[in-house]
Amino acid sequence: MKIGFIGVGKLGKDAAEVMYECGHDVLGYDVKTMSETKINMTTSIMDVCKHGEIIFIAVPTPHHPDYDGRNPTSHLPNKDFDYSIVKEVLTEVNKHTSKEQLVVLISTVLPGTIRREFINLCDNFRFIYNPYLIAMGTVKWDMVNPEMIIIGTEDGTFTGDAKILLDFYKTFIKEGTRYEVGTWDEAEGIKIFYNTFISTKVALVNMIQDVAEKIGNMNVDVVTGALERSTYRILGPAYMKAGMGDGGGCHPRDNIALRYMAEKLDLKYDLFDAIMEAREKQAMNMANKLVSLSEEFNLPIVILGKSYKPDVEYIDGSSSILVGHYVEKTNNKVEYDLEQPIPAIYLLGHYGKHHDYDFPEESVVLDPWRQFKSDKIKVIQYGNTRKSS
């Protein structure tokens, strides 16, 4: 098929390349000059609209930079996403399209946004909301192996346009992938609550980790392991490993936006405020542990893993930086990812990484994943306070 792709950025680039690699004719557009990409690029949205039978829009719905989760946010006013970029793009696309074309919006928005903010800008083309469950560093794999395809239509029925879109995805997604069809509002909800459900699980297992630290003689992995294997009522094992807080460009900010929604709808309660506060307090508890160890051993503090997850360069929503923030609030200095190791208190910010790091013998490692072992240096398993440990 002839595919237009608007928003060929840090997520959109890999998504568009998957479509190209399976044989589709993809023309892309982005406001920024992209690094090398396999797909053809243009400097005009009009060109994309003239080219595409299906036009995908994958532009950002950002918060102010203060709201990305790498620093405390629970004290800031609740804010919705900024939808101005999506509105600008939809307005421009509407000028150059016809009812012969299907426009598919991928960007994350709060439930009710399309009906309230966007659909009046979509007079000339057919429209579907189709948010992706993709993550930085694994976009191409996620595109081919999605947990589900989310399709939002006006009334929630499986329309002819929904079938066209699903048939398109079947050219490259894993056979047997389930699809979920709902109204625009339900599709918006599936995407954002999927993200915040993960945040809730991470906050819960890290709360158990804090309990283990406080109560003594308790290994958090024994507790979370039992819950992880409880697949009848507790859904599945993913994210059931206590450690660092969640991060990235989606999860912290989605909870922030849902705080705004809870206030706007006057729900009388706000789970999401508690989740974000828990994330920050958990980071503070870990920072306090680092400071305590620093004072006990008279060593500086180093955090290994500044990016928000392993093998990516992005620091958006980094829980390591958040822990570092609280360390610095105690007037202690923090170093990140030192290439030249020094004797220090080291926090392992990334799961499964830094096992080959050349720790000096005087060092102490604080391991929130409880998997690092060494015969040469002291290792403290954060969240495991069993006396036998």
Residue 355: inside a domain, yes or no?
no
Token code pair at residue 17: 């390349």
Identify whether 366 is part of a domain.
Answer: no
Number of domains in the chain: 1
**What is the Cα–Cα distance from 139 to 18, expressed in whole angstroms?**
9
Band of residue 34 on the pLDDT scale cut at 50, 70, 90: low
**CATH code for the domain in which residue 137 is found:** 3.40.50.720
Torsion over CA: 133, 136, 139, 142 (sign):
negative
Strand, helix or coil for residue 381:
strand
Confirm whether 265 is domain-assigned. Answer: no
Q: Is residue 216 part of a domain?
A: no
39: domain range?
Answer: 2-183
- Residues 142 and 216 sit within 8 Å (Cβ to Cβ): no
Note whether residue 243 is domain-resident.
Answer: no
User: Does residue 239 lie within any of the structural domains?
Assistant: no
- Give the up-direction half-sphere exposure of residue 162: CA atoms within 13 A in the CB hemisphere: 19
**In the predicted model, is pLDDT for residue 260 greater than 60?**
yes
Question: Mean pLDDT in the chain?
Answer: 94
Tens-digit pLDDT profile for residues 367-381: 999 999 999 999 999
Q: Which of 31-40, 185-194, 304-313 has the lowest mean pLDDT?
A: 31-40
**Rounded to a whole number, what is the distance in angstroms from the first to the last CA of the chain?**
59
Residues 6+ apart with CB under 8 A from 205: 220, 224, 227, 239, 240, 241, 242
Residue 107 lies in a domain: yes
Asked whether residue 233 is assigned to any structural domain, the reply reads no
Q: How confident is the model at residue 389 (pLDDT cuts 50, 70, 90)?
A: very low
Bigger pLDDT: 270 or 6? Answer: 6
